[in-house]
Amino acid sequence: MIEITKLVPEKRKGLIVVITGNGKGKTTSALGIALRACGHNLKVCIIQFMKGDLYAGEWDGIKKLNGMVELFHTGKGFCGIQGNPYPHKEHRKNAQDAINLVLEKIESGKFDIIILDEINNSIKLQLVDLEQVINIIKTKPPLLHMVLTGRDAHPEVIKMADTVSEINEVKHAYRNDIEPQPGIDY
């Protein structure tokens, strides 16, 4: 049997990770970070800024992780697409409530990682202000990791990040009229 070694960094640092791009898998990648964190007994908080009007499998999947991950879906769906009926003003109010929730969760000191799902889109759509996000990044505790997902990451957010991944679409089933599939797409 092979002995498994657990690496421990000499110096810990809370990283800023940005996952952006037009390809599928930004939230999925962030959920992978949450799963990996559970393996290290790290507590994770996920705040979804735009998701909330259509069921996503992670909502029930996370409940099976014994309380290691808290997830809040605070949005009313994707603003301005897929026939979303809510006005911009209502989307913005929800996103502002989500910003307050982020600040509350950071202040609690309970979490090792906070994932701000679709926050990049929220900046682009003016649901949250760039200054709000920059302030959150600048004032986060030094050991808190923060993951920001969504298309169209702002250049200032990218500049502040330690790690940036861009997910590009090469091919997507949706383009071939294949409906979104449970467990893969949502």
CA angle 113, 118, 119 (to 5 degrees): 75
Task: With respect to residue 73, please indicate whether it lies within any of the assigned structural domains.
Answer: yes
Task: With respect to residue 11, please indicate whether it lies within any of the assigned structural domains.
Answer: no
- Average pLDDT (85-94) is 85
Task: With respect to residue 45, please indicate whether it lies within any of the assigned structural domains.
Answer: yes
pTM over 0.85: yes
d(C-alpha 51, C-alpha 76), whole Å: 6
Strand boundaries in the chain, DSSP class E: 16-20, 44-48, 69-73, 113-117, 145-149, 163-166
Give per-residue pLDDT as tens, 91-124.
Answer: 899 999 999 999 999 999 999 999 999 999 999 9
Indicate the number of domains in the chain. 1
Domain with residue 108: its CATH number is: 3.40.50.300
User: What is the pLDDT of the chain when averaged over all its residues?
Assistant: 92
pLDDT value of position 33: 98
Domain limits at 140? 16-168
